[in-house]
Chains A and B, each alone.
Chain A
Amino acid sequence: MKYGMTGKILRVDLSNQAHSVEEPDEKIYRTYFGGSCLACYYLLQERPAGIDPLGPENLLIFASSPLVGSGIPGANRFSVASISPLTGYYGEAEAGGWWSPELKRAGYDAILLEGKAEKPVYLWINDEEVQIRDATHIWGKVTGDTQEIIRNETGESRARVASIGPGGENMVRYACVVNNLRHTNGRSGMGAVMGSKNLKAIAVRGKQKISFKNNEALKKIIKWYADNFMDHPIERILHDGGTIGWDVTELDEAGILPTRNFRSGSFEDADKICGETFHNEYFVEADSCHGCPIRCKRVARSTGEHQVDPAYGGPEYETAAAFGSLCGISNLEAICKAHELCNRYTLDTISAGSSIAFAMECFENNLVSIQDTDGLELNFGNHEAMLRLIHKIAKREGIGDLLAEGTLRAAQKIGQGSEKFAMQAKGQEMAMHEPRGKGSLALAYALSSTGANHTEGPHDYLFQEGALGVSDLTELGLLEPTPAVYLGPEKARQFAPENCLK
């Protein structure tokens, strides 16, 4: 293996505190490449159906891919994949940031994690050298403290740390993995799987060079992109405003901004949680992932009632909607605080917001009482209650223990017809895109093995007649685009070529 990949996969047996290095045949790489494809291959090969996602038999995989580390914008991502504790099926989540290029520079394409450590541990990978270190003194810490402690202990201030906080440790079913405090493998509950293995963090430092076939061609592509990306309207929007600056107003005007647990598609206070308001009141600076000039990440700060720490970045669109319109909340400072808490505790903001909105709808319909909610008045719009619930969910305290199970299981326990308030498919909560307004996305929510996942499907408004995405798909068979809201046979036929570009 010469170019793009290191040719080495690290296998870690946490039960026996052992590790080994495998060098798969080139055919495996050329068939599955990396990322979620490679992860899925290992899961299908090595694990039977029906295993307990939170048991030691589950296999947790962190997988990079061939272009990572090349400097090409966007080629900095990795997948974390496993059997999901939310759905019981294949689950995965991607993140950008800086961790994946570091793993490759350390000499590995992927990490396979098996078994369960007897006591909390963290993995330290330093230029191919691997140590399984004690983490009992870090267990219970939020991600910021975790990263600082590990960097101090290893003596590597530039180590890239992917970790879980109390949410993952307590196996909240939608706990996520956070790297560098701001980049998140959000969905599918991968942080819970990590917690079930007593694995606190994977810290990586690598100084090796990654070889690519044609470095001159790479340089040309990178330079061309840096010189021209602002000519692309979407890249320009993301550069200037992030995803929070792209979607809130648009979805609201289109009548498909998830509001009050999907009761409606328009929020009367959308202007209070939109990108323009965020930039006027809480925006500090933009942030980036490795090699990317777009800098779409936002960093937030507030010194007001809800002090918001910029170390944890700032809210994406999904977070703004999940803790905003979905919960009927118009206090943007509280939403920024919710984002920070979720990154500290490692909770998926979409599922957390959705679980809270579910609880609010149950409360307003008298399906849960004030005694059930530990005295919290869970009316839509109560941002203080929303923030209190995030703490409770991460620590599995009181009603937080119920909501930590996700809306499907919480509804099964509450009963009384609450199932209709659980906005989920296969156990994973819907993202902040109304499926009733986006036909292809509705299909994605219904068909994806990972459950309701907006990253598993196309967004219809980009593929209507005359839209930006149509010309890319004509060669793949999208000859007659359909309107966004349409859901019929032609949309089903359109779904396949659209999904090739997801």
Chain B
Amino acid sequence: MSVTFISIGSLKRFFNNMTNGKDRLVVEDQEGRSLKVVCQEIGLPVNLISLYIVNGKAESKDYILQHGDEIKLIAAMGGG
């Protein structure tokens, strides 16, 4: 019962301590829980996440995780 976070872009640095330099974080026993709650628990800056992409499709932060889900998180973008 696991889901996989794929770390990309500017949010990668918030994953670094958890992935040993790899770009994937496998999290166990999260089926049935919401994306937002899980992200908060693993220490991600939820107020900076603008898009949750689950299995290639945009979902809300209240999406309920299912076994095998692959999740990309996109940070809010600003100026530059």
- A residues near B (Cβ < 8 Å) are 233-234, 236-237, 240-241, 243-251, 253-254, 274-276, 316-318, 432-433, 454-455, 459, 461-462, 464, 466-468, 484
Whether the Cβ atoms of B74 and A254 lie closer than 8 Å is: yes
* Inter-chain contact A317/B80, CB cutoff 8 Å: yes
Distance between Cα atoms of A275 and B45 in the complex (Å): 20
A253 touches which one: B12, B51, B76, B78 (CB < 8 A)?
B51
Separation in Å of the A335 CB from the closest CB of chain B?
Answer: 14
Q: Do A466 and B80 have beta carbons less than 8 Å apart?
A: no
Chain B stretch 35-75: residues in CB contact (< 8 A) with chain A: 36, 45-48, 50-51, 53, 61, 72, 74-75
Min distance, Cβ A485 to any Cβ of chain B, angstroms: 10
Name 28 interchain pairs, CB-CB below 8 A, sorted by A.
Answer: A233-B45, A237-B10, A243-B79, A244-B80, A245-B10, A246-B80, A247-B77, A249-B9, A250-B76, A250-B77, A251-B77, A253-B9, A253-B51, A253-B74, A276-B12, A433-B77, A433-B79, A454-B79, A459-B79, A461-B50, A461-B77, A462-B50, A464-B76, A466-B36, A466-B47, A466-B61, A467-B48, A467-B50
Which residue of the partner chain B has the closest CB to A241?
A: B10
Question: B22 contacts the other chain (Cβ, under 8 Å)?
Answer: no
Which of A244, A249, A484 has its CB near the most chain B CB atoms (within 10 A)? A249
Nearest-CB residue, chain B, relative to A253: B74
Min Cβ gap A230→B in Å is 11
Interface of A is mostly: helix
Nearest-neighbor residue (CB-CB) of B48 within chain A: A233
Beta-carbon contact of B13 and A250 below 8 Å: no
**B75 and A466 within 8 A (CB):** no
**Complex Cα–Cα for A433 and B76 (A):** 12
Pick from B10, B13, B77: contact of A254, CB under 8 Å: B77
B27 near A: Cβ within 8 Å?
Answer: no
Q: List residues 8-25 of chain B with CB under 8 A from any CB of chain A.
A: 8-10, 12-14
Q: Is the CB of A459 within 8 A of B14?
A: no
Q: Give the docked Cα–Cα distance between A249 and B51 (Å).
A: 12
* Contact A316/B80 with A240-B13, A249-B9 known, Cβ cut-off 8 Å: yes
A237, A240, A433, A464: the one contacting B75 at CB < 8 Å is A237
Find chain A residues with CB under 8 A from B46 CB: 466
| Chain A residue with Cβ nearest B76 | A461
CB distance from B50 to the nearest CB of A (A): 4
B contact patch SS: mixed
CB closest chain-A residue, reference B50 = A461
Q: Which residues of A contact B36 (CB under 8 A)?
A: 466
How far, in angstroms, from A433 to B10 measured CA to CA in the complex? 17
CB of B10 within 8 A of CB of A468, answer no
Task: Write the nearest CB–CB distance from A228 to chain B, whole angstroms.
Answer: 15
Closest residue to B12 on the A side, CB-wise? A276
Going nearest first, the 7 A-B pairs with the smallest beta carbon separation are A317-B80, A243-B80, A249-B9, A461-B76, A461-B50, A233-B45, A237-B10
Q: Contact: B61 with A250, CB < 8 Å? A: no
Q: How far is the CA of A193 from the CA of B78 in the complex (A)?
A: 29
Report chain A residues within 8 Å CB of B50: 250, 254, 461-462, 464, 467, 484
The residue from B10, B12, B74, B76 contacting A459, defined by CB atoms under 8 A apart: B76
Cα–Cα, bound, A484→B75 (Å): 13
| In the complex, residue of chain B having the shortest beta-carbon distance to the beta carbon of A243 | B80
Partner of B47, one of A432, A433, A467, A484: A467
Beyond A233-B47, A249-B10, A254-B74, 17 additional contacts (C-beta under 8 Å) are A233-B14, A233-B48, A237-B75, A241-B10, A241-B13, A244-B80, A246-B78, A246-B80, A249-B8, A253-B72, A274-B9, A454-B79, A459-B76, A461-B77, A462-B50, A462-B78, A466-B47
Smallest Cβ distance from A94 to chain B, in angstroms? 11
Residues in B whose Cβ lies below 8 Å from that of A243: 78-80
What is the chain B residue whose CB lies nearest that of A462?
Answer: B76
Complex-state Cα separation, A243 to B79, whole angstroms: 7
Q: How far is the CB of A473 from chain B (nearest CB, A)?
A: 13
Contact: B76 with A467, CB < 8 Å? yes
Q: How far is the CA of A32 from the CA of B79 in the complex (A)?
A: 25
Contacts of A240 in B (CB 8 A): 13
> Are B79 and A455 in contact, with the CB atoms below 8 A?
yes
Q: Are A253 and B53 in contact (CB under 8 A)?
A: yes
In the bound complex, what is the Cα–Cα distance between A466 and B8 (angstroms)?
21
